[in-house]
Every structure is written in C-alpha cells, then in structure tokens.
C-alpha cells in the first residue's frame, strides 16, 4: 500500500458543501489534513431560501473528527466573500472545488427566462466569481488546484435540462481555458462529471440507486486532482460507483475540399461519407491541433490553384484504376526473360532456367517479370479524369518493385492501382502510381510503384515533390561490373511482353516524341540490370530477390551496350547504376536491390524486416549519421538521445545519439531516450527534407512527441 496522500498546510474551499458531493469532498480533504472553508447558501435545490444549518453541520463534523474547518453562507455569486473567509481564517487559498449547483428542470418550450438565468447564475457566474476571486492568490503563490463540476447532461444532453446542460458545458469550456492560463503558474484545473446520489439526483433516480451511488465514491478522484503530486490539468473525467474514466474529444479525419474548387452544398454532399466516417478518427488535444486541417487548406488556397486545362492534380490524386486480371504461363515468362537478354549464352544453366522448361535446375520465373502485372492497368492513365496528354510524351521516371515470395511459373494475378501523388517538375508532370497484385488465393505477389514523367505537362503550380538523393554509390571502385550488349531488335522483342507503345517500334512515332529513332523500354534496361545484380550477388537465385528501386535518368537506343556497376552494401543490399558504354552517359541511377537471406534477420515468414523499409527513410538516417560524424559539435549543442519511431509497413525504429561522443545513428529502440518522435514514413521524409513544417506537423497530429518536447525544436540540426 502506498503512503497516505496528505494535504497538511493546504487550505481548500468547497462550494455547495452542505450536502451530497460537496460534503463528501470537504470531509475527505479535512480528514487528510486540509483546512476547509465549507460554503453553502443553505437554499433548496431550485435556488430558493437560505440557511446556515447545512454548512455549519459539516463544519461540526470535521471538527469532531479532529480537523479544521470554517463555515461560509454566501451565494457563489458573492465569490469574493467566500475567498475572503479563507483569507480571514487561514491567510491563504490553495484548493478550490466548485461544486455548488441547483436544478430548474423543465422542457425547453416551457422554459422561462428565470429558469435559464437562475441556472447560469449559480453554475456559470458562480463558478466564475469564486474562481476569479481566488485566481490572483493562486498565481502569486505559484500553486493552485481547481476542480470544476460538470455533468453527463452537459456532455451528452438530457431531456428537460437545456438550461442545466448548457451551463454545465460552459463550465467545461471555462476549465479548459484556465488550464492553459494557469499551467506555467503551477495551477492545475480539471473537471469532473460525477454520477452520485444527492438532492439534485433524487428527483430523477429511484431511491435505492440514490442510496447506492454514494458521493464518497466520487471524492477520492477530486482529492487526487487537488493533491500536490497530481500533474493532470485540463482533464475531463466521468466518475461514479468506483468507476473512473477520462474523456477526450474524438472527430473523424474528415474531408478537405480545395477552396479554389468552390465549397458548395454539392461538394459537402459528395464527401459526406468521409466527413462522418470515424474509422480513422483523430483526437485533437487543443485548439491549435483542432484548427490544423483548416489552416493547411487556407495555406494551400494562398497559392495559385494547381492545374490547368491539361492537368488537375486534385482530380487525379486518389483515382483508382479498374482491376485487371493477367494469366501467364511458362511461355510468357520465357519470352520476358529473352526480352531482357537472358540466356545470351545458351549453355549457362543458371540463365537457361529462366527460358527453358526442362532446365536441369528446374524452370523458374525471373522476379522482375512482376513489373508486367500492372501494365494493362496503367494503360488507363490516358483515360483518367483530370489529365490530357500525348502518349508519345510519356516516359518512365522511376520504378520500385517488391516481390514477397518467388513467382509461380503459372498463375492468374489481379492488379489494382491508384494515383497517390502528382508532382510539378517544371518541364513535365510526374504521376506516382501504386499497384498491388494478388494471386488466386488473394495473397499479395507483387507491389509496384511507378513514377511516370509526362513531358510538356509541367509548370501547373503544383508541389515539386521530394528531391532527396538516395542509393548513392560509395566513393570507391565498383565491386562488380557487367557489360550487356543489346540487340538492334531488342525493343521489338521486349514489347511482346506487353508494352506495345509505338515509341519503341515506330520511327515516325519516336520522332513525335523527339527521338531520332525508337528507344528501348526503360523496364527492359531495368530487367537487364536486375539480371546483373542477381548474377553477381545471389548466384542467379530468384528466391533471393526481395525488391528493387531505380531512377531512369536517360534513354537507351537498341544496339547500345549497358554497363552495370555494382557495390555490395551488405549481404542483403546492393547499390548499382547503369551507363551506356558508347555515349558514356548514365541511364539508370539511384538504384538498389534488396536480397533475401544470408545476413538478414528473418522474421516469421522469412522476409527481411530491413528490406521493407522505405529507402528514402534509410537514406535520411544514413545522411544523418554522416552529418553527426562531420559535425561532432552537435553533441555539445544538443546533449540528448532521440528515438525515431517511423510508423507504417515501410517504417522502423532508430535512435540517434547526440549525447555521448562520438555519437551516431543506430537501428532499434534506445534504452533511455530523452525525446521520442513518432511519424508516418512519408511525413517523416517531408519533415527531414524541409517540405513539412515541424510546428504545422505537430498541430495536425502528424508529429507526436514524448519525453522532453523542447528537444523536438532542435531537429533542424539533424536535417539535411
């Protein structure tokens, strides 16, 4: 049992303390050493009459038990007189419990002005008057504990109590503001909504329930909220019959209607399901967080509306592609493998396995065949609402592919996709398209993210997007180099796997796109590079493949030689880039392949945790480590340990030592972090690259901080 919590030396005022809850509060506080001013006008439950009997009787009880108390018989509307009693008797005030209340229940259509005004005079004005009289004393002594009394009727409403409900909710608002104003003066303000038997509830509860719901079951919470050790402030608590619970505001994530679209009744109607959907609820803790979405929309509105007659990002983002089925067989897999140059040496059994069904190693699917799955789906981009362009101006910008397990040699896969981002790159627009492919059992067999660059569609006033350099090779010679010549008809062969864009076959159409002749598909070079990495670092075992990400920097003409330079970063990760030998120009950059097995820490299904982490997140922590190494003075300036919880499937946990020399970045949780930052991966990337303001992120609930919140303001020192 913990040591007894005492109030020795503290002076408490309890209003409405002649009966019920107030009496129980006063008796408990006095029994634990507080000197108590027992206030009660002595009137009836409707606010009429007056008597000194009730308050004096409670004072007598306290004194008989060895405690200290003095009676006060003023109305709470005379708050100064109540506080003066405390000063005259005990020279100070430390605790104030605003408990006094009356009822004048009547249905709203029968309610009189007097019914309304009497309730507000006691509950709202009375609470204000007593608290306002005590407030300067609490501020001066840098200590105070104030408890307000609301009601379930104020929170949820109740028939026949419009006046009472409005007043009790007004008390909640008063307490919330005073909690903010008193915080830096060590004045804590909280509110209770009690369920207890009293003169006010005996008219609406059966006698046996009034008897069972003892006020003594509520008072321990009040006493704790009044104690020196309690750090709670701004809280709202429901309490009764030994049950205690804290309330908080909850709201839907809601829907944001771009202001430049015009906020109409029809827009509200069309977004109604999102407006009322609590499945992804938020819990704003203050008015700043509450206003976050509205402020963000206003800030967006200050900018020129993104879009023009050819592109409307607001319409594009979130659009879903129709689901498409693709059935493939060993023949399709063989054709794809030949299209990316496999088995050029037909005697190599390690490559023969990708093209020959009777291979000694058994026929296997080359893993990057999975980029074919969303192709039919992505063809619908030309039909999407909100965009108009010449398909000849479309280029592949970046590609990410993850294959959770080896592909079957025959299957039917269903692919769904959607546009997640639209970026304005000046010379063109970038569409980010995420695709998920599932097999007949509903299991995910591939995840694709394609960034499509459409030339001539830029400068529409949109977000430029992130420009974080990732997958940068180290400053040393490559660990392996592979030269792969392409054939003059390579594009004609590769297009048979599905990408029949005439840009890769028809000289006239290529000229429309600005090329002297048809170019090789970017995804053909993608496959060629993947073959090189798998050959040198995974012994051509497709089961070792986990994921790959590349950026297409320049085009390749069929017949040119692709040189793939590779660096082993770990047993599970290889960085690479590709150049055209004849022109000495890099065509694939910022590229990496994640491999399964070997040094990976395998989890239940055998997948490596690290391989699913967003590569841009990894790049940021890598850059952070380099920054700390280059600037050891950061340790003296910060002197703390951070933990970053990057949430989501593509996240993880890291801790950053800026306290102990030489400092550094480590994967996993810190033993005793001074400050913990929690963010979704995308928001974390935006924050650390300066695309998202930290204060705005906090207000919007995108950034959560625990521990020393002031340390969060020093994050700028870690940004690139």
Model confidence over 493-552: pLDDT tens digits? 999 999 888 999 999 988 988 899 999 999 999 999 999 999 999 999 999 999 999 999
Last residue of a domain, one of 608, 624, 645: 608
Helices (H) and strands (E) in the chain, counts: 23, 23
- Report yes or no on 6 lying in a domain: no
If one compares 125 and 610, the residue with the highest pLDDT of the two is: 125
Q: What is the CATH number of the domain that holds 660?
A: 3.30.1050.10
Residues 540 and 568 both lie in one domain = yes
Q: How far is CA 255 from the centre of its chain?
A: 16
User: Which of the following is catalytic: 90, 164, 336, 369?
Assistant: 164
Residues 227 and 334 both lie in one domain = no
Quote the CA–CA distance of 48 and 45 in Å, as a whole number.
7
Residues 598 and 507 both lie in one domain = yes
Residues 344 and 453 both lie in one domain = yes
CA–CA–CA angle 329, 333, 337 (5° rounding): 170
Q: What count of Cα atoms within 13 Å lies in the side-chain half-sphere of residue 422?
A: 24
Is the distance from CB of 109 to CB of 124 less than 8 angstroms? Answer: no
Last residue of a domain, one of 566, 592, 608: 608
Does 30 score more than 60 pLDDT? yes
Indicate the range of 4-18, 570-584, 611-625 predicted with least confidence. Answer: 611-625
Indicate the range of 97-101, 148-152, 464-468, 701-705 predicted with least confidence. Answer: 464-468
pLDDT number for residue 435:
95
Residues 145 and 211 both lie in one domain = yes
pLDDT number for residue 598:
43
CA distances from 334 to 238, 368, 411, 497 (A): 68, 12, 14, 10
Does 136 score more than 80 pLDDT? yes
Residues 77 and 134 both lie in one domain = yes
Residues 392 and 509 both lie in one domain = yes
Residues 566 and 680 both lie in one domain = no
Does 677 score more than 60 pLDDT? yes
- Report yes or no on 319 lying in a domain: yes
Question: Can you give the pTM of this predicted structure?
Answer: 0.50
pLDDT number for residue 301:
56
Does 197 score more than 60 pLDDT? no
- Report yes or no on 308 lying in a domain: no
> 280: domain range?
259-301
321-371 per-position pLDDT tens digit: 999 999 999 999 999 999 999 999 888 888 999 999 988 778 999 999 999
Residues 335 and 196 both lie in one domain = no
| Residue-wise DSSP of 654-719 | EEEEESSTT-EEEES--SS-SEEEEEEHHHHHHHHTTSS-HHHHHHTTS-EEEE-GGGGGGGGGG-
pLDDT number for residue 390:
85
If one compares 178 and 362, the residue with the highest pLDDT of the two is: 178
Residues 111 and 216 both lie in one domain = yes
Quote the CA–CA distance of 394 and 230 in Å, as a whole number.
63
Does 258 score more than 80 pLDDT? no
pLDDT number for residue 673:
86
pLDDT band, residue 672 (cuts 50/70/90): confident
- Report yes or no on 274 lying in a domain: yes
Number of domains in the chain: 4
- Report yes or no on 4 lying in a domain: no
Does 208 score more than 60 pLDDT? no
B/e letters for 100-114, b = 16+ CB within 10 Å, e = fewer, are bbbbbbeeeeebeee
Is the distance from CB of 702 to CB of 712 less than 8 angstroms? Answer: no
Quote the CA–CA distance of 374 and 670 in Å, as a whole number.
41
Quote the CA–CA distance of 424 and 325 in Å, as a whole number.
32
The helix or strand, by DSSP H or E, that contains position 240, with its residue range, turns out to be strand 236-240
> Cis ω on the peptide bond leading into residue 662 (within 30° of 0)?
yes
Quote the CA–CA distance of 175 and 146 in Å, as a whole number.
9
Residues 559 and 471 both lie in one domain = yes
Q: Is 156 a catalytic residue?
A: no
DSSP 578: E
Is the distance from CB of 581 to CB of 565 less than 8 angstroms? Answer: no
Q: What is the CATH number of the domain that holds 366?
A: 3.10.129.10
pLDDT number for residue 712:
76
- For residue 169, the tally of other CB atoms under 10 A from its CB is 18
Residues 510 and 635 both lie in one domain = no
pLDDT number for residue 719:
61
- Report yes or no on 695 lying in a domain: yes
Task: Write down the mean pLDDT value for the chain.
Answer: 88
Q: What is the CATH number of the domain that holds 150?
A: 3.40.50.720
66-79 per-position pLDDT tens digit: 999 999 999 999 99
- Report yes or no on 200 lying in a domain: yes
Instruction: Provide mean pLDDT across the span 572-588.
Output: 96
- Report yes or no on 110 lying in a domain: yes
Pairing of β 144-149 and β 95-98: parallel
Quote the CA–CA distance of 625 and 106 in Å, as a whole number.
68
């Amino acid at each position: 049992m913990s040591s007894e919590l005492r109030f020795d030396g503290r002076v408490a005022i309890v209003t409405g303390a002649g009966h019920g809850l107030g009496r129980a509060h006063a008796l408990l506080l006095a029994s634990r050493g507080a000197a108590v001013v027992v206030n009660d006008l002595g009137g009836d439950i409707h606010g009429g009459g007056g008597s000194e009997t009730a308050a004096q009787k409670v004072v007598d009880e306290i004194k008989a038990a060895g405690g200290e108390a003095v009676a006060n018989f003023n109305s709470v509307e005379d708050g100064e007189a109540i506080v003066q009693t405390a000063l005259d008797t005990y020279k100070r005030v430390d605790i104030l419990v605003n408990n006094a209340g009356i009822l004048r229940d009547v249905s709203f259509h029968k309610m009189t002005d007097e019914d309304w005004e009497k309730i507000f005079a006691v509950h709202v004005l009375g609470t204000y008057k007593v608290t306002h009289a005590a407030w300067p004393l609490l501020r001066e002594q840098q200590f105070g504990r104030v408890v307000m009394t609301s009601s379930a009727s104020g929170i949820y409403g109740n028939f026949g109590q419009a006046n009472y409900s409005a007043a009790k909710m007004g008390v909640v608002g008063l307490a919330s503001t005073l909690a903010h104003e008193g915080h830096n003066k060590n004045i804590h303000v909280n509110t209770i909504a009690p369920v207890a038997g009293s003169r006010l509830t005996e008219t609406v509860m059966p006698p046996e329930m009034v008897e069972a719901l003892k006020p003594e079951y509520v008072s321990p919470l009040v006493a704790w909220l009044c104690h020196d050790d309690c750090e709670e402030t701004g809280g709202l608590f429901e309490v009764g019959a030994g049950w205690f619970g804290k309330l908080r505001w909850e709201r839907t994530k809601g829907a944001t209607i771009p202001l430049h679209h015009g906020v109409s009744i029809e827009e509200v109607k069309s977004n109604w399901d999102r407006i009322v959907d609590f499945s992804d609820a938020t819990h704003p803790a203050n008015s700043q967080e509450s206003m976050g979405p509205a402020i963000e929309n206003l800030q967006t509105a200050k900018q020129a509306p993104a879009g023009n007659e050819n592109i409307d990002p607001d319409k594009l983002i979130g659009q879903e592609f129709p689901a498409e089925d693709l059935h493939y067989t060993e023949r399709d897999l063989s054709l794809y493998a030949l299209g990316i140059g496999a088995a050029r040496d037909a005697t190599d059994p390690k490559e023969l396995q990708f093209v020959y069904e009777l291979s000694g190693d058994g026929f296997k699917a080359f893993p990057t065949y999975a980029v074919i799955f969303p192709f039919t789906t992505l063809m619908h981009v030309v039909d999407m609402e909100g965009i108009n362009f010449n398909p000849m101006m479309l280029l592949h910008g970046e590609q990410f592919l993850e294959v959770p397990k080896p592909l079957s040699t025959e299957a039917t896969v269903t692919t769904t996709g959607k546009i997640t981002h639209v970026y304005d790159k000046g010379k063109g627009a970038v569409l980010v398209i995420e695709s998920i492919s599932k097999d007949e059992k509903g299991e995910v067999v591939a995840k694709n993210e394609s960034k499509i660059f459409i030339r001539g569609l830029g400068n529409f006033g949109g977000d430029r997007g992130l420009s974080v350099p990732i997958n940068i090779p180290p400053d040393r010679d490559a660990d392996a180099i592979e030269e792969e010549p392409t054939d003059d008809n390579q594009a004609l062969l590769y297009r048979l796997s599905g990408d029949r864009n005439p840009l890769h076959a028809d000289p006239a159409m290529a000229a429309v796109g600005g090329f002297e002749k048809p170019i090789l598909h970017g995804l053909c070079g993608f496959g060629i590079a993947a073959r090189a990495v798998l050959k040198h670092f995974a012994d051509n075992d497709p089961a070792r493949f986990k994921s790959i990400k590349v950026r297409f920097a320049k085009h390749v003409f069929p017949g040119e030689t692709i040189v793939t330079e590779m660096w082993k970063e770990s047993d599970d990760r290889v960085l690479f880039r590709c150049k055209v030998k004849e022109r000495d120009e890099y065509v694939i950059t910022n590229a990496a392949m994640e491999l399964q097995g070997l040094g990976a820490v395998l989890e239940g299904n055998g997948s490596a945790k690290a391989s699913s982490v967003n590569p841009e997140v990894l790049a940021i922590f890598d850059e952070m480590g380099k920054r700390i190494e280059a600037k050891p003075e950061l340790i003296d300036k910060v002197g703390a340990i951070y933990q970053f919880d990057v949430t989501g499937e593509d996240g993880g946990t890291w801790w950053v030592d800026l306290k102990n020399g030489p400092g550094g970045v480590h994967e996993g949780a810190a033993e005793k972090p001074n400050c913990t930052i929690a963010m979704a991966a995308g928001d974390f990337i935006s924050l650390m690259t300066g695309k998202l303001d930290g204060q705005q992120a906090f207000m919007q609930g995108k950034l959560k901080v625990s521990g020393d919140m002031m340390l969060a303001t020093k994050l700028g020192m870690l940004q690139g």
